[in-house]
Structure 1
């Protein structure tokens, strides 16, 4: 059960000292923080003159004081109902702490009449109890916005751009803050119209909106400039790489773009090789400089792959060094030493496949001949 820790403080204690003030406002926002019951009956708080709402959820003493005064005059038992409601809709203890820290005024909400209809709306479009806390934590203003004047109209805009509600939910999970701006809603419609005039397939448009909603809802002038840059490089609007390149240009400024090319030039790539790799796998330029250096060093110096070969398969650069490259290369070395695979086995065929396929093709298949393969892969 959650229990609000209630404390009574006299006026002279409130103003005594900053140290005492911080101690007075300490909140242990754990399983005892709020007073709720698994039934629909709530424990009445003793006193909400000054709620201890600070340490664990990160509220400042000043914010907690203002909030506690409003709770006292509005609805002393309201927070219990709010927390009960959010808990019933998938929020864990830690997620509650994070959400309240970001949006403390949610505790002032009317749980049944204001919050519940919004939560039911999200459920009606297919948002699971697993995704709901993540979406709301990422977009704290959702529960403070009007259901009929804001949430439903925004949903209808996104729904008009994609194929189904599942893609709407994906867009919300990747939601941009721009979604709350009136100009962004208008610009999104204009942005997608630009793509439709280029005959970009609906599947590619859905890919952009559901996975890169920040790009779809960006300013129209920025979007058009990015589209023109992608067209100039020769991307085919009928293929998904067009929108993948579009999201790169919409997010990355020229300086970062040039800095990435400088790194690869140190490994022997020409500018043409960089652009050729970009045409094959646009997202490789979004990799951080630190990761590029680590992966290139491993592939070139440890594995022995030539920089030219890497440029021909840039997609592998996105894979995780510690979780994918190193353990899979350990398996390949054992298989090569036993003569169980060809010595010229392409690293791209080993790195690019799923974990399930890798285990089936290179570990389980050879367990009798090399029983330590799984240990090498895990170790």
Structure 2
């Protein structure tokens, strides 16, 4: 009897617990099942880059769409406007602005105080005017994303030490501002020393820096390898064409070089003939295979040349190859004047 009474009491106790939940249980229940849940914070709407550039800054549709292909939306249009305003105040014209943004769209999401101004200060401290800076940056806007202290500053110092003046440095950078993206201490400076060690005069090296600055940012070991290959082809290191031969061969991959050799062999030239052509007119190896074929076809149509193997005698091979090079350059200059 007592046992039965105890069971009933336990049963009533459990029922009581189920019916009278604690305040904590009730609050948890309300949190998970209440229809009035806390509302999420809404993020700021993103702005389409193309629309922003066209409507806010009067960019051309072409430039705006080009930039939008890389950076489609802006989270902070105000920051982007501060970038464009800074560049405009620094002397960049509408054309300059469009070109910079089109080539480096990421500039739109940069903080001008952190990303842009330190670079401009490096140039200013180095003695360059606002218009100089515009020319340098326009040559390769990617330099704005490089470190001011670790890359741009040291690179400018190397160029100044080698070339001697800001005017000379500016001449190089207007042609190829991209050289500032490299460690010029390890590339340009080392390559100058390598070339000098092979007897190439400093005056010729400086001349080449002005005309072909990108040649000097190759790894020094690759330059040394090319010098050995050029030497194996019987090139006279004292020849004025020696540096030209190094530059041309450095610009070509092994595969590209082999394709050109194959092309010349198809014209009836032997390995020795090809080496002779390279020693005589190394620049022709910088012309594309397609252009060489087109020009040779034009030259042969004049009836002055015979492409058969038996016709390759004396300096005939050198003559036609030299004319290929001359003709290509004539066409290049002609097209340049037509565009003016």
Same fold per superposition (TM over 0.5): yes
- Aligned position for 2:121: 117
- Aligned position for 2:8: none
Tell me the alpha carbon deviations over residues 24-61 of structure 1, each in whole angstroms, 9 at most, x when there is no partner. 5542635x5339xxxxxxxxxxxxxxxxxx95342358
Q: 2:326 aligns with which of 310, 313, 316?
A: 316
Deviation at 1:204, TM superposition (A): 1.7
- Are 1:192 and 2:199 counterparts? no
Check conservation: 1:187, 1:219, Cα contact below 8 A.
Answer: yes
Deviation at 1:291, TM superposition (A): 0.7
Q: Secondary structure at the residue paired with 1:58? A: helix
Aligned residues: 284
What is the alpha-carbon distance in structure 1 between the residues aligned to residue 135 and residue 305 of structure 2? 41
What is the alpha-carbon distance in structure 2 between the residues aligned to residue 102 and residue 76 of structure 1? 10
Judging changes above 3 Å, is the alpha-carbon distance between structure 1 residues 118 and 56 closer, same or farther for their aligned structure 2 residues?
farther
Show structure 2 runs of 5+ residues with no match.
1-40, 308-315
- Aligned position for 1:85: 89
What is the alpha-carbon distance in structure 1 between the residues aligned to residue 260 and residue 177 of structure 2? 25
Deviation at 1:288, TM superposition (A): 1.0
What is the alpha-carbon distance in structure 1 between the residues aligned to residue 98 and residue 81 of structure 2? 21
Judging changes above 3 Å, is the alpha-carbon distance between structure 1 residues 261 and 154 closer, same or farther for their aligned structure 2 residues?
same
Q: 1:27 aligns with which of 34, 40, 51?
A: 51
Judging changes above 3 Å, is the alpha-carbon distance between structure 1 residues 170 and 265 closer, same or farther for their aligned structure 2 residues?
farther
- Pairing of 1:11-160 with structure 2 (within 5 A): 11=42, 24-27=48-51, 29-30=53-54, 33-34=56-57, 55-59=64-68, 63-65=71-73, 67-69=74-76, 75=79, 78-88=82-92, 91-92=95-96, 94-101=98-105, 103-106=107-110, 108-110=111-113, 113-114=117-118, 116-118=120-122, 120=124, 124=128, 128=132, 131-137=135-141, 140=142, 142-160=143-161
Q: TM-score, normalised by structure 1?
A: 0.61
- Aligned position for 2:247: 247
Instruction: Choose 170-179 or 265-274, whichever is displaced more.
Output: 170-179
* Structure 1 or 2: more helix by fraction: 2
Deviation at 1:269, TM superposition (A): 2.8
Deviation at 1:260, TM superposition (A): 0.8
Instruction: Choose 228-237 or 190-199, whichever is displaced more.
Output: 228-237
What is the alpha-carbon distance in structure 1 between the residues aligned to residue 103 and residue 185 of structure 2? 26
Q: Secondary structure at the residue paired with 2:226? A: helix
- Pairing of 1:346-357 with structure 2 (within 5 A): none
Q: Secondary structure at the residue paired with 1:319? A: helix
Check conservation: 2:50, 2:67, Cα contact below 8 A.
Answer: no
Tell me the alpha carbon deviations over residues 188-208 of structure 1, each in whole angstroms, 9 at most, x when there is no partner. 333221211222111221133
Check conservation: 2:83, 2:108, Cα contact below 8 A.
Answer: no
- Aligned position for 1:205: 205
The structure whose Rg is larger is 2
Check conservation: 2:128, 2:166, Cα contact below 8 A.
Answer: no
Q: Secondary structure at the residue paired with 2:53? A: coil
Tell me the alpha carbon deviations over residues 89-143 of structure 1, each in whole angstroms, 9 at most, x when there is no partner. 685353244245263344x213995354245357728974773353233xx1x22
Check conservation: 1:269, 1:311, Cα contact below 8 A.
Answer: no
Q: Secondary structure at the residue paired with 1:124? A: coil
What is the alpha-carbon distance in structure 1 between the residues aligned to residue 92 and residue 139 of structure 2? 16
Instruction: Choose 121-130 or 277-286, whichever is displaced more.
Output: 121-130
What is the alpha-carbon distance in structure 2 between the residues aligned to residue 202 and residue 105 of structure 1? 44
Judging changes above 3 Å, is the alpha-carbon distance between structure 1 residues 27 and 175 closer, same or farther for their aligned structure 2 residues?
same
Q: TM-score, normalised by structure 2?
A: 0.66
Q: Secondary structure at the residue paired with 1:186? A: coil
What is the alpha-carbon distance in structure 2 between the residues aligned to residue 301 and residue 242 of structure 1? 33
